[in-house]
Amino acid sequence: MDPLVLTNSEEILKVLTNVALRGNGFVTECLVAEVMDAGLFEPDYLNASGVDPEAYYEGEPNAWANYHVRQSKKVFMVYGGSNKIRTFHIADTP
């Protein structure tokens, strides 16, 4: 998939609603639920890049491997990819 950058909260949540992550490491059937559980209810930035055969967008494989979702100073990050164990990290930026 082509890299994606969004800055509209509604569009970001809509995209994340359609992302499912399977395979090794961090998995979820709906990435938006994980983002919201982390406290990002109105994200203002999404950067999605790379390709992961175990990531699905709208039910189709080979969605993005890496996700950076930001709301104010809080960032939710997912790192994955082919033959990698997917991880996630939540951080507050200065």
CA atoms within 13 A on the CB side of 52: 29
Neighbours of 73 (CB within 10 A): 9
Taking the whole predicted model, whether its pTM rises above 0.75 is answered as yes
Q: How many domains does the chain have?
A: 1
Give φ, ψ of 93 to 5 degrees: -90, 155
pLDDT in tens, 49-74: 999 999 999 999 999 999 999 999 99
pLDDT in tens, 5-29: 999 999 999 999 999 999 999 999 9
Q: Provide the total of helices (H) and of strands (E) in the chain, helices listed first.
A: 2, 8
Cβ contacts of residue 13 below 8 Å, gap of 6+?
32, 43
Domain residue limits at 13: 4-92
